Amino acid sequence: MAEGLVDGRAPRTAPLDGSTHPLPTFARMAAVADAVLYEGYLLYPYRRSSPKNRARWQFGVLFPRAWVEADGPVNPGVSGSADSWYQQTECLVRVRRPDAVVRLRVRYLQTQHKQVENADGRPVESLTCDDGTVQLTFEEAVPREADLTTTLAEGEHTFAVGAPAGTDTQELPSGAGRVVRHRAEVRASSTLVVERLGDDVLRLRVRTVNEGATADPRAPRDRALRHALVATHTLLSVEGAEFVSLIDPGPALQEAARSCRNDFTFPVLGGAPPAAAPVDGAVSPLLLSSPIILPDHPQVAPESPGDLHDAGEIDEILTLRTMLLTDEEKREARATDARAAEILDRVDTMPPEVFGRLHGAIRALSPAAAPQAAGRRAAWWQEGGDDGLSPTTDTVLVDGVRVGGGCAVRLCPRGKGADAQDMFLAGRSATVAAVFHDVDGSTRLAVTVDDDPAAELHGWYGRFHYFRPDEVVPLGGTDVPDPATATTPSPGPTPPEA
């Protein structure tokens, strides 16, 4: 990968103060960072002719500003799926030593047009060589990155992260033709700003900007992509300090965390998660700011044998689907892109034991025999998590009345946040069939509408309407019906999480 320059010099890899303390290595985040870089690069079935591969580059794309704002300014947000001309990360750092150092790396893809030419030098869409291999004209990409290392002193540091234009030529066997790869210049810079918020707390801002121009602000997106940064993301590490999680900053830094502004990206702690839960907010010497929203300490599953460019998908499903491609489809995929060929090679040669590991894994569950703390129920995903729950006999307190299976209620869906279909049932009387508990700790009442001609049928096969306790008013009494005499429909399956 091409390394960027800082003030015309090669980027430093050691602290500027001359100390021998090594900076935390980005290698601990390499797999996740690569998955972000190539997410959506080329999607199954990995063929040029596939409709989903005709509209690519959807995350972290920074275009020239004139092109982005041709129809007005962009609306900033943390979503990296929106086209923009800049990307901004703000995060918190707790300083442990006065000589603390930060290292910043900006990574992205530079698009590259692969043009196939025949023996006469004429551009063609495809070409078959004498050895039977096929070459296809296609849009590729080249990984780029640039580094900056500096002390955590207040101030501003700007460095170039762009990439030059270039042309590479590859002659094909037996004089069949050649492949010419063109890259347009990408002009961009990143600025690191260090602000002090307290005695030992700093706010870091990293703003990466596309400084290029496009001849036609109304040009098609595929032309503007030639001057764009694709899948842009930022890695940071500190020595003598630690990043504070914006997801779990702890009570003392909640306000400071809320004040951080992140546009078209969001920072999360990197590296392996700690062995014990943090006491006063989560921290790490590593941070990844990604256009794809991730949790703190994201990890690639150890069972995954390699990138499939669908980081949010399930490896087993994609592998099975890839196995089912016809020989002709695989031939086209191999001709489309070298990374597609690598995926096919890996799938075609995958040992049974490696494929078997993709079927599933259970992580972070307590042993089945582990005793639960007194008065605490196991988490919903653990064995025994629903012990003691009985939807048909459980009750919930509504306006001082215990409401459960068989109770009559009037439906009063809230005007804001209620399901649109539920609003049609406002004021109708209904009968409660069951009380369900969601995994987030909330409660739902499963009901059948009294004047619905199919109410009995719905109750029989468990098709209910679901309302929160504050969306019903108890009717006809102040007590739950006697289970021995009440007729309650079958509760059916547990409803999905709201």
267: which strand partners? 289
- Distance in angstroms (rounded) separating the CA atoms of residues 177 and 116: 8
The arithmetic mean of pLDDT across residues 28-45, rounded, is: 92
pTM of the model: 0.71
Do residues 257 and 244 touch, judged by C-beta distance below 8 A?
yes
pLDDT in tens, 161-186: 999 999 999 999 888 999 999 999 99
Write down the pLDDT at residue 435: 94
- Distance in angstroms (rounded) separating the CA atoms of residues 255 and 379: 30
The proportion of the chain whose per-residue pLDDT surpasses 90, expressed as a percent, equals: 62
Question: Which is more confident, 236 or 213?
Answer: 236
pLDDT in tens, 73-107: 888 888 888 899 999 999 999 999 999 999 999 99
Give the CA-trace dihedral at 401, 407, 412, 416, to 10 degrees: 80
Instruction: Cite the beta strand spans of 263-339 per DSSP E.
Output: 266-269, 283-284, 286-290
- Distance in angstroms (rounded) separating the CA atoms of residues 223 and 228: 10
183: which strand partners? 166
CB atoms under 10 Å from CB of 157, counted, come to 19
Question: Which is more confident, 119 or 24?
Answer: 119
The arithmetic mean of pLDDT across residues 129-156, rounded, is: 93
Nearest to 17 by CA among 136, 114, 99: 99
On the question of pLDDT at 5 being above 80, the answer is no
On the question of pLDDT at 28 being above 80, the answer is yes
Write down the pLDDT at residue 423: 85
Question: Which is more confident, 140 or 11?
Answer: 140
On the question of pLDDT at 22 being above 80, the answer is no
Write down the pLDDT at residue 236: 97
The arithmetic mean of pLDDT across residues 101-130, rounded, is: 95
Preceding peptide of 45 cis, ω within 30°: yes
Coil/strand/helix, residue 73: coil
What's the start-to-end Cα distance of the chain, in Å? 45
Do residues 213 and 45 touch, judged by C-beta distance below 8 A?
no
Write down the pLDDT at residue 398: 92
Do residues 197 and 258 touch, judged by C-beta distance below 8 A?
no
On the question of pLDDT at 374 being above 70, the answer is no
- Distance in angstroms (rounded) separating the CA atoms of residues 135 and 115: 9
On the question of pLDDT at 443 being above 50, the answer is yes
Distances (CA, A) of 173 to 49, 132, 169, 306, 331: 25, 11, 13, 30, 18
pLDDT in tens, 184-202: 999 999 999 999 999 899 9
Distances (CA, A) of 251 to 96, 255, 283: 19, 8, 13
Question: Which is more confident, 307 or 240?
Answer: 240
On the question of pLDDT at 487 being above 70, the answer is no
CB atoms under 10 Å from CB of 290, counted, come to 27
On the question of pLDDT at 307 being above 90, the answer is no
What is residue 29's DSSP assignment?
Answer: G
Write down the pLDDT at residue 377: 57
Report the range of poorest mean pLDDT among 31-40, 82-91, 219-228, 306-315: 306-315
Do residues 36 and 292 touch, judged by C-beta distance below 8 A?
yes
Write down the pLDDT at residue 496: 41
Tokens of 179: 């492949």
Question: Which is more confident, 28 or 480?
Answer: 28
Report the range of poorest mean pLDDT among 50-59, 105-114, 119-128, 316-325: 50-59
The arithmetic mean of pLDDT across residues 291-299, rounded, is: 93
Average pLDDT, rounded, for the chain: 86
Distances (CA, A) of 479 to 86, 398, 408, 475: 61, 11, 10, 10
